[in-house]
């Protein structure tokens, strides 16, 4: 007959551990024994069938190769176990008259408390006071209960929760808070100095402010250097204020025909009206910049009226610079465009 959960003995075991079930008072006159389990997953499984003083017969299933049966002392051993093995295990003893006795076990397979992680969070700090939240976590563990203890008696309620809220001053004496996490199969502890955590938070805030100020100063210096370099480069391209580009235009008109007399002979030369337009562009730079060639354009118009008779002079007598030994076509009107680079 099936027995309720209150009639079964509870037994907890750690995952990857060994489960050993020993009935307290097995019947003395039992003839056959059958171990069964109703798993928490919702299905039943027969583990083995044994006759007194004979070898047990194991059923195929999830317990094959893991279950071991002993008659002296009478026990069932399963290793290793997992959380899927949780359930109600029952031993059905039947005597020669057919009477059945069925002791049972409520087996709980839990993950152990392997490693605790204790973290101090400081969401608010003002004038040396820190509001701390201690958070204690146990990765992978199940059915864990928590207990807190602190030295020095800091203000705050010691809660039976994975967190603890405190308020401490950074100039207080060292205060150590300890988190104790446990379940039915294992336990673990972790501790932290809350005053040291408050001081570390203050130092961290100071470092953040110092880094921010340093970055701002470095940015300002970089901008100033960029602006200075740009201004100097632009100033180097522009000519100095005392040396500016100049453009000089010369307009010269040679008057009407005139007579040029020679001291030795009576020959004369008549020169017609000439007009010369000359534009001279100069560009002067400072001493540190070499002078570059500048394009200058000279326009000359010569309109002779008739032949030019050159006077006869001795080779030793100098000639005026305005008259040279040239022959000009009287009918020619010449316009010359000369660009000097």
Q: What is the pLDDT of residues 191-210, one digit of tens each?
A: 999 999 998 876 544 344 43
- Listed in order, the ranges of the chain carrying CATH 2.60.40.10 are 5-110, 112-238
For residue 336 the two structure tokens come to 């010359």
pLDDT band, residue 284 (cuts 50/70/90):
very low
pLDDT at 119: 93
* Secondary structure (DSSP) of 40-105: TTS-EEEEEEEETTS--EEPSSTTTTTEEEEETTEEEEE-S--GGG-EEEEEEEEETT--EE--EE
Whether 242 shows a pLDDT value over 70: the answer reads no
Query: Could you confirm whether domain 112-238 is CATH 1.10.10.920?
Result: no
Whether 294 shows a pLDDT value over 50: the answer reads no
Q: CB neighbours (10 Å) of residue 40? A: 15
Q: State what percent of residues in the chain have pLDDT above 90.
A: 38
Whether 25 shows a pLDDT value over 60: the answer reads yes
Contact 266, 275 (CB under 8 A): no
pLDDT at 240: 54
pLDDT at 217: 65
Whether 227 shows a pLDDT value over 80: the answer reads no
pLDDT band, residue 57 (cuts 50/70/90):
very high
Residue of higher predicted confidence among 71 and 330: 71
pLDDT at 33: 95
CATH superfamily, domain at 5-110 = Immunoglobulins (2.60.40.10)
pLDDT band, residue 81 (cuts 50/70/90):
very high
- Residues 173, 178: Cα–Cα separation, whole Å: 16
Mean pLDDT of 270-284: 49
Residue 159's nearest CA partner among 180, 173, 130 is 180
Whether 17 shows a pLDDT value over 60: the answer reads yes
What sign has the CA pseudo-torsion 319, 323, 326, 330?
A: negative
pLDDT at 216: 64
Task: Give φ, ψ of 44 to 5 degrees.
Answer: -100, 155
pLDDT at 166: 87
Whether 75 shows a pLDDT value over 50: the answer reads yes
Whether 88 shows a pLDDT value over 90: the answer reads yes
pLDDT band, residue 270 (cuts 50/70/90):
very low
Most confident stretch, 116-125, 247-256, 271-280: 116-125
Residue of higher predicted confidence among 287 and 64: 64
> Residue 287 contacts by C-beta under 8 Å, 6 or more apart in sequence?
none
Cis peptide before 169 (omega within 30 of 0): no
pLDDT at 335: 53
Secondary structure class of 208 (helix, strand, coil)? helix
pLDDT at 252: 52
- Say what the alpha-carbon torsion angle 56, 61, 66, 67 is, to the nearest 10 degrees: -30
pLDDT at 218: 66
pLDDT at 310: 46
- Residues 157, 177: Cα–Cα separation, whole Å: 12
Whether 233 shows a pLDDT value over 80: the answer reads no
pLDDT band, residue 140 (cuts 50/70/90):
confident
Residue of higher predicted confidence among 179 and 312: 179
Supply the pTM of this predicted model.
0.52
Mean pLDDT of 127-138: 89
Residue of higher predicted confidence among 187 and 278: 187
| Phi-psi map region of 16: left, alpha, beta (phi>0 left; psi -120 to 50 alpha) | left
For residue 161 the two structure tokens come to 């929760």
Average pLDDT, the chain: 74
- Residues 51, 4: Cα–Cα separation, whole Å: 26
Mean pLDDT of 166-190: 90
pLDDT at 182: 93
């Amino acid at each position: 007959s099936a027995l309720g959960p209150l009639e079964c003995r509870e037994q907890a075991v750690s995952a990857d551990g060994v489960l050993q079930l020993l009935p307290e008072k097995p019947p003395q006159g039992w003839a056959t024994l059958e171990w069964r389990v109703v798993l928490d997953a919702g299905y039943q499984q027969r583990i083995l069938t044994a006759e007194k003083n004979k070898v047990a017969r194991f059923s195929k299933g999830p317990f094959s190769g893991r279950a071991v049966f002993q008659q002296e002392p009478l026990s069932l051993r399963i290793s290793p176990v997992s959380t899927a093995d949780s359930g109600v295990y029952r031993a059905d003893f039947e005597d020669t008259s057919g009477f059945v006795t069925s002791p049972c076990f409520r087996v709980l397979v839990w993950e152990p408390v392997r490693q605790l992680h204790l973290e101090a969070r400081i969401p608010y700090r003002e004038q040396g006071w820190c509001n701390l939240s201690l958070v204690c976590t146990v990765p992978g563990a199940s059915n864990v209960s928590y207990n807190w203890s602190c030295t020095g008696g800091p203000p705050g309620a010691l809660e039976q929760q994975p967190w603890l809220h405190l308020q401490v001053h950074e100039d207080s004496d060292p205060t150590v808070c300890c988190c104790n996490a446990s379940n039915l199969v294992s336990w673990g502890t972790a501790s932290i100095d809350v005053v040291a955590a408050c001081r570390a938070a203050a130092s961290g805030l100071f470092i953040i402010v110092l880094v921010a100020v340093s970055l701002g100063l470095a940015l300002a210096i970089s901008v100033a250097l960029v602006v200075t370099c740009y201004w100097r480069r632009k100033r180097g391209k522009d000519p100095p204020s005392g040396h500016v580009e100049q453009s000089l235009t010369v307009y010269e008109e040679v008057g009407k025909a005139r007579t040029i007399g020679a001291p030795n002979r009576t020959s004369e030369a008549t020169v017609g009206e000439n007009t010369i337009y000359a534009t001279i562009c100069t560009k002067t730079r400072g001493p540190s910049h070499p002078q570059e060639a500048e394009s200058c354009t000279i326009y000359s118009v010569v309109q002779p009226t008739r032949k030019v008779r050159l006077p006869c002079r001795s080779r030793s007598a100098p000639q005026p610079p305005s008259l040279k030994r040239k022959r000009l076509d009287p009918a020619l009107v010449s316009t010359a465009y000369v660009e000097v680079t």
